[in-house]
Amino acid sequence: MLTSFLEIPPTSHFPIQNLPFGIFSTAEQPAPRVGVRIGDFVLDVSVVEELAYFGGNLQGKRVFRQPTLNAFMALGRPAWREARTVLTNLLRSENPTLRDNPAFRARALHPIATVTMHLPAAIGDYTDFYASREHATNVGTMLRGAENALMPNWLHLPVGYHGRASSVILSGVNVTRPRGQVAPGNASTPEFAASRSLDFELEMGFLIGTGNPLGEPIPIEAAEEHIFGLVLLNDWSARDIQAWEYQPLGPFLAKNFATSISPWVVTLDALAPFAVPGPAQDPVPLPYLRAPANQGYDVRLEVALQPAGGAAHTICRSNLKHLYWSLAQQAAHHTITGCNLRAGDLCGTGTISGPDPGSYGSLLELTWRGQNPLTLPDGATRKFLEDGDTIIMTGHCQGDGYRVGFGEVAGKIVSAMGAL
């Protein structure tokens, strides 16, 4: 098995088989730049670039001493693969180039505890899909009954909406409880209040690498060539604000206050060994959504809730492979009108729920709209999130003796701002 000269335990999310990209800085060099995660270290890719280890599609491009991944992602898959190959070779256990060069190692390798992480991309646009059949069925059942759970269009297209890119935040940033108009119970008029039904949504997000010109859709068979990689994503949701505002145009203030993502972007090349068939699709989608294979990825996902002063407790286990609409279908559908995606655009999958109650990816489902509160180990209960609660999402693919993981995305709820 491919191994690194760095000692990496088999439970680490970041072996040599992964090498996810991110943006980091250090106290000694505060300018953000591109790094890859390897075990408990960050490899400074700008140093590798400066020392001229990259050629071919990366020759002279100078894309790694940049504060975002955008310039690198825009180069396309040949450049992504070349960078991955060079970095893998430098980190291999049998290669002395970095292993046996103390000066090179001192410049290029930084302990993870000494770095500060930043958003991986300048996100121009954010789109959130609704691609889990189980989640859509659960929510539809609550609102319309089991016989009308899915809207008539749902099995024909990946439903989505345009979100707010400015409030995409990095793991670890606190989330302020939003305030807005809510209509308690069956009230016909609203009141202005802090959300009482604040929720998480277990999602994954994919970052666009190479975009498409305005007016030229991305064909389904080429869609994954435009996807650079994936992150964990928590699309926080104020259910009571949403219940009042969403008709007729859908989510707005209930979703625009915060979307948390993990700092490390795991490439599709790293995920390739974990590709699996997606769910069977019936009816057969229209031709522009028919891929050679409805491909998913076997990414094991978990959500833990940590109350203020307490221990984290796992409340959900799901998997990316449950998505009905694939990443490729989401990208192809997004552009079928001629919409132009750009490097750094972020697309969320929508809540990823599985077939059993323990795999439901939101408190809305786990508590069935608050009717069945969760009981935590300390005896406390939750219908929705309380101030001081921290939500921690993790995800990994399990290989033979190694993992390809995403680390975590975490966010703590803090109280709403003072009275207006």
Note whether 388 and 372 are same-domain residues: yes
**Of the candidates 62, 96, 118, which is a domain's last residue?**
118
Mean predicted lDDT score pLDDT of the chain: 96
Note whether 55 and 131 are same-domain residues: no
What does the pLDDT look like over 366-383, one tens digit per residue? 999 999 999 999 999 999
Note whether 193 and 296 are same-domain residues: yes
Higher-confidence residue of 186 and 6: namely 6
Write the CB contacts of 256 (distance below 8 Å, at least 6 apart in sequence): 163, 164, 167
What does the pLDDT look like over 317-365, one tens digit per residue? 999 999 999 999 999 999 999 999 999 999 999 999 999 999 999 999 9
Residue 391 lies in a domain: yes
Strands (E), 112-164: 115-118, 126-129, 160-162
For residue 365, what is the domain's CATH number?
3.90.850.10
Taking the C-alpha atoms of residue 36 and residue 31, their distance in angstroms, rounded to an integer, is 16
What does the pLDDT look like over 145-204, one tens digit per residue? 999 999 999 999 999 999 999 999 999 999 999 999 999 887 889 999 999 999 999 999
Write the CB contacts of 108 (distance below 8 Å, at least 6 apart in sequence): 43, 44, 47, 48, 98
Q: In sequence order, what DSSP letters do the residues of 172-190 get, joined into one string? A: T--EEPPEEEE--TT-SS-
Q: Which of 13, 110, 135, 333 is catalytic?
A: 135
**Of the candidates 118, 143, 168, which is a domain's last residue?**
118
Give the domain extent around 81. 21-118
pLDDT number for residue 34: 98
Question: Over 80: is that where the pLDDT of 130 sits?
Answer: yes
**Of the candidates 54, 85, 118, which is a domain's last residue?**
118
Which of 160, 409, 136 is closest to 260 using CA atoms? 409
Find the helix or strand (DSSP H, E) in which 47 lies. helix 45-50
For residue 55, what is the domain's CATH number?
2.30.30.230
Q: How many domains does the chain have?
A: 2
Note whether 369 and 399 are same-domain residues: yes
pLDDT number for residue 264: 99
Question: Over 60: is that where the pLDDT of 420 sits?
Answer: no
Residue 9 lies in a domain: no
3-state secondary structure of 285: coil
Write the CB contacts of 211 (distance below 8 Å, at least 6 apart in sequence): 74, 226, 340, 341, 342, 343, 345
Note whether 392 and 284 are same-domain residues: yes
Note whether 153 and 107 are same-domain residues: no
Note whether 160 and 100 are same-domain residues: no
Under a CB-based contact definition with an 8 Å cutoff, are residues 414 and 177 in contact? yes
What does the pLDDT look like over 287-303, one tens digit per residue? 999 987 768 999 999 99
Residue 33 lies in a domain: yes
Note whether 133 and 158 are same-domain residues: yes
Note whether 349 and 367 are same-domain residues: yes
What is the phi/psi pair of residue 53, to 5°?
Answer: -85, -15
Omega prior to 217 cis, within 30 of 0? no
**The dihedral formed by the CA atoms of 73, 79, 81 and 83, expressed in degrees to the nearest 10:** -90
What does the pLDDT look like over 33-54, one tens digit per residue? 999 999 999 999 999 999 999 9
Note whether 26 and 169 are same-domain residues: no
Residue 384 lies in a domain: yes
Residue 12 lies in a domain: no
Is 110 among the residues known to form the active site?
A: no
**The dihedral formed by the CA atoms of 252, 256, 262 and 268, expressed in degrees to the nearest 10:** 40
Note whether 34 and 183 are same-domain residues: no
Residue 279 lies in a domain: yes
Note whether 100 and 54 are same-domain residues: yes
DSSP secondary structure letter of residue 4: B
Residue 3 lies in a domain: no
Residue 288 lies in a domain: yes
